[in-house]
Amino acid sequence: METTVNDIAADCAAAKAASRTLAFATTGSKDRALESIATGLRDRSGAILEANAADLADERAQGLSDALVDRLSLDGGRIEAMAAGVEAVAALDDPVGEVLETRTLESGIELSKVRVPLGVVAVVYEARPNVTIDCAVLTIKSGNAILLRGSSYAERTNRALADVVRQGLAEAGLPADSVVLSTGGGRDQLADLATQDGVIDLLIPRGGEGLKDALKEVATVPVMYAASGNCHVYVHSEADLEMARAIVLNAKVSRPGVCNSAETLLVDHAIAARFLPSALSDLREAGVELVGDERAVAASGGVDMAEAAESDWDTEFLDLKLAVGVVDDLDAAIAHVNEHGSGHSEAIVTASAEAADRFTTEVDAAAVYVNASTRFTDGFEYGMGAEIGNSTQKLHARGPIGLRELTTFKYVGRGDGQIRG
């Protein structure tokens, strides 16, 4: 397949022009667009799956890991889940125009703080085609235009999905260029996108540290990083060990190629010899490659485990691989997570309310769980309908980026002739 190279400046200009109309669109028209998109996904599922099969067969996808192939792959169930997610977003309240607060100033002016769209959002993302739909519908509902830049090895699938979205917009009387898919080119085009000052209001990269570092070098537009998920599960000395086994297995195995999967298991030394042999056996039976520190290997009960390299503690594997460490106590676990974690999602398994409170208070991450899998960090699970990514930053959003995170606000003052002395 010959890749089509889009003109970044022209794509951005088209999205900017569309954003001026979309910002003032009624909730009804936006919801009609989403309903048309959901219908289109179901009606055109055959064509979407055909495009996806072609992407999977392309030579550009041949070097991908099994986990990345899973991220790229679609089937009827995943398309139906996308359509259901679109309908869930349509059912949410429209954030645009929401009055956040109102007060009367000493001057007599009535001042309101009102939620408004950002304008044009650009998203750079990797293999998962559902991101095309999630990002598009969230920005439509929040009144933003979007420029989508996906992976070359998902180009056919993304194009088929974007065509469904653009048709849905047109059917609702909204500008099709509210969603623009930009393709082709390399690092130069990424730099062009990241320097569209006055056109791109927010750039969200969804990818690994390499993408993040590349953008940091060149970006002049505001950037919110939906970056790596180096997530941990810590099994405390007072954990229910059967519960911990189930949580660890789910956090690593259910979707190893996504950012909320666990990459490191930490176990309190007091229960390591009782817990690790069975937990590691579960993981090995599921095909997980295990690497561990000296104490983890010693407590493994003979389960196959290689020695962990120092870099393993800082690596987002996005695959069936897990680093395992034994720590002295809660203090050591918190210190390890804060040193090596990426600020995404962290979990503790414990029956101790005191330990749970300390972990949730002292661990610096967007999402912290007690007795639950890290896999729950997800806009759909949080009732947001979908997400545009998970922010590991603290400004202006943190965690799943949903409708409200795609808005800003303006102050509106209403007076009756006041002038300032």
- Does residue 207 sit in the same domain as residue 301? no
Q: How many CB atoms lie within 10 A of CB 97?
A: 12
CATH number at residue 353: 3.40.309.10
CATH code, 85: 3.40.605.10
Global confidence as pTM: 0.88
Do residues 54 and 172 both lie within one domain?
A: yes
Whether 342 and 392 map to the same domain: the answer is no
| DSSP state letters, 55-97 | HHHSGGGTT--HHHHHHH---HHHHHHHHHHHHHHHHSPP-TT
The confidence score (pLDDT) of residue 47 equals: 98
Residues 39, 154, single domain; the answer is yes
Task: Let me know whether 214 and 356 are in one domain.
Answer: no
243 shares a domain with 175: no
Could you tell me the maximum CA-CA distance found in the chain, to the nearest angstrom?
Answer: 82
pLDDT attached to residue 4: 54
**Rounded to whole angstroms, how far apart are CA atoms 153 and 337?**
34
The parent domain of residue 393 ranges over: 17-226+388-414
Q: Are residues 299 and 235 in the same domain?
A: yes
In a domain, 401, yes or no: yes
Gap between the Cα atoms of 70 and 73, Å rounded: 5
Q: Domain total for the chain?
A: 2
Inside any domain, residue 332: yes
pLDDT in the model for residue 246: 98
Same domain, yes or no, for 216 and 95? Answer: yes
Q: Are residues 195 and 115 in the same domain?
A: yes
Query: How much is the pLDDT for 98?
Result: 98
* Domain identity same for 77 and 203: yes
> Consecutive sets of 10 residues in the chain, 421 residues long: mean pLDDT of each?
70 97 98 98 98 93 83 94 95 97 98 98 88 96 96 93 98 98 79 94 86 87 88 98 98 93 98 98 98 98 97 95 98 98 97 98 98 95 90 90 96 97 87
Q: What CA–CA distance (Å, rounded) separates 313 from 35? A: 44
Same domain, yes or no: 275 and 174: no
What per-residue confidence (pLDDT) applies to 1?
Answer: 47
